[in-house]
Amino acid sequence: MMSSLERPLRVLLLSTSVGALGSGLGGGVELTLHNLAQALSLKGHTIKIVAPAGSIAHFPLVEIEGTLQPTAQNEGRTAAIAMPANAVLANMWVYAHQVQAQYDLLVNFAYDWLPFYLTPFFDRPIAHLVSMGSLTDAMDAIIAQTIAQFPNTVGVHSQAQAATFSFGAECRVLGNGFDLSLYQFCPQPKPYLAWVGRLAPEKGLEDSVAAAQITQKPLKIWGVLQDHTYWQHIQQQYPTAPVTYEGFLPTEQLQNALGKCQALLMTPHWVEAFGNVAIEALACGVPVIAYRRGGPAEVVQNGKTGWLVEPDSISGLVDAIARIDQINRYTCRQQTEATYSLAAMGDRLEQWFAALLSQSVRPA
Ligand code: UDP
């Protein structure tokens, strides 16, 4: 496809401020930022990344010192905006303000109030890639205000995520894109299941463990142990479940281990904005069994690349596990190539940026 932009752009990507890139604390945002940088770079755009100190990136990187931002997932709707002393988030945006003239566009990956609030004070346009659904009134209000003043500046990953916001119809739905060459297709699985994600309440690991206990099918768990108490509770609640915690692995090792699994279970209790791990599993030929809710419900083709289960139904999961063999693993891999490649994502990003820049009323 021809580029929808007139010339290559100089783009500054501002990472999440809840963790360094490579730590896993940033959840799917870490891989999303990396993939998006790759997709844009393949299209000829120049990329620089700004991220908390200690980050690892495969692109030119500016590391910023400061205190990490607390995570917003479980604070409740009326939670106030939190800002620690010497916040890395604030320091990253001070840096961005200083260097903005060297760039055509800034892209914000933080689900935080400050970058939205600062948008009118910048000369350069800011694209905001929102990584979660509606969580707090304060965030909803500032995103709504930004989108009203600067149309086309807010991107999301799925229709279901957009629908959690009153302004969802004005968000650009981008899906996601992956370097599929990193994910090896594995035709013959071993007899166990996978669960991949941050070990935190919103991700609903306990439902997958419950299904493993009933079916007595081994379940391997990969991801950052974000909430230790939560994980201890699960182990106490399901003492005879055949589950093992396998730690947090870099992509290359994760895909190797994940590819050998019979199916990936995705049982989140929140509206998962996208669920990167669904694509990573499918890319290896691993069918996905997911609740029919949020991003995974838009990714999984029921009966073709996995099974969609009534949300929060453990018996539904058990039934789906019994039907894994009906899914053709090669079809799973094919689905990712058609929709979730870096090239496909690069096209969607360029169309988004072209629309955003054509509406920008800022000085050139
Ligand atoms: N992940 C990883 N190594 C692991 C487990 C998970 O790199 O051992 C990454 C995975 O590739 C994915 C992210 O963690 O990009 C989880 O993202 P997802 O979108 O599924 O959920 P989120 O954490 O954003 O809610």
Q: What is the mean pLDDT of residues 323-332?
A: 98
275 lines ligand 1 (CB under 6 A): yes
How do residues 129-152 score in pLDDT, each as one tens digit?
999 999 999 999 999 999 999 999
Centroid of ligand 1 to alpha carbon of 67 (angstroms): 23
197 lines ligand 1 (CB under 6 A): yes
Question: Sign of the CA dihedral 229, 231, 234, 238?
Answer: negative
Question: Sign of the CA dihedral 56, 352, 106, 133?
Answer: negative
Residue 260 has pLDDT above 90, yes or no: yes
28 lines ligand 1 (CB under 6 A): yes
* Residue nearest ligand 1's atom 13 by CA: 28
Residue 34 has pLDDT above 90, yes or no: yes
Centroid of ligand 1 to alpha carbon of 97 (angstroms): 30
125 lines ligand 1 (CB under 6 A): no
- How far is the C-alpha of 272 from the C-alpha of 277, rounded, in Å? 11
Centroid of ligand 1 to alpha carbon of 157 (angstroms): 15
- How far is the C-alpha of 160 from the C-alpha of 287, rounded, in Å? 21
Q: 355 CB contacts (<8 Å, ≥6 apart)?
A: 152, 172
The first and second tokens of residue 307, run together, are: 């099974």
**Among 2, 11, 1, 36, residue whose Cα is nearest residue 276:** 36
How do residues 98-111 score in pLDDT, each as one tens digit?
999 999 999 999 99
Element of type H or E holding 254: helix 251-259
Residue 73 has pLDDT above 80, yes or no: no
> Is 35 in contact with 1 (CB distance < 8 Å)?
no
Confidence at 338, pLDDT banded by 50, 70, 90: confident
Of 13 and 3, which is predicted with more confidence? 13
Q: Count of CB atoms within 10 A of residue 310's CB?
A: 12
> Is 297 in contact with 322 (CB distance < 8 Å)?
no
DSSP labels for 57-73? Answer: -SS-EEEE-SBPPPP-T
Domains and CATH numbers, the chain: 10-177+341-358 (3.40.50.2000), 180-339 (3.40.50.2000)
Distance spanning both ends of the chain, measured CA to CA: 27
Q: What pLDDT does residue 363 have?
A: 44
163 lines ligand 1 (CB under 6 A): no
202 lines ligand 1 (CB under 6 A): no
254 lines ligand 1 (CB under 6 A): yes
Q: What does the mean pLDDT of the chain come to? A: 96
- How far is the C-alpha of 185 from the C-alpha of 303, rounded, in Å? 19
**Among 223, 222, 217, residue whose Cα is nearest residue 189:** 217
> What percent of the chain has pLDDT above 70?
98
276 lines ligand 1 (CB under 6 A): yes
- How far is the C-alpha of 340 from the C-alpha of 332, rounded, in Å? 12
- How far is the C-alpha of 219 from the C-alpha of 258, rounded, in Å? 11
31 lines ligand 1 (CB under 6 A): yes
Closest atom of ligand 1 to CA, residue 246? 8
Across 181-202, b (16+ Cβ under 10 Å) vs e yields eebebbeebeebbbbbbbbbbb
- How far is the C-alpha of 84 from the C-alpha of 68, rounded, in Å? 8
Q: What pLDDT does residue 68 have?
A: 97
198 lines ligand 1 (CB under 6 A): yes
Q: What pLDDT does residue 243 have?
A: 98
Q: What pLDDT does residue 362 have?
A: 55
Position 156, amino acid: V
Q: How many residues does the chain have?
A: 364
Closest atom of ligand 1 to CA, residue 249? 8
Q: How much is the CA Rg of the chain, to the nearest whole Å?
A: 20
Closest atom of ligand 1 to CA, residue 222? 8
Residue 74 has pLDDT above 80, yes or no: no
Confidence at 1, pLDDT banded by 50, 70, 90: low
Centroid of ligand 1 to alpha carbon of 203 (angstroms): 11
Distances in whole angstroms, Cα of residue 245 to Cα of each of 30, 31, 69, 232, 242: 21, 21, 27, 12, 10
Q: What is the mean pLDDT of residues 296-301?
A: 97
280 lines ligand 1 (CB under 6 A): yes
How do residues 224-233 score in pLDDT, each as one tens digit?
999 999 999 9
Confidence at 364, pLDDT banded by 50, 70, 90: very low
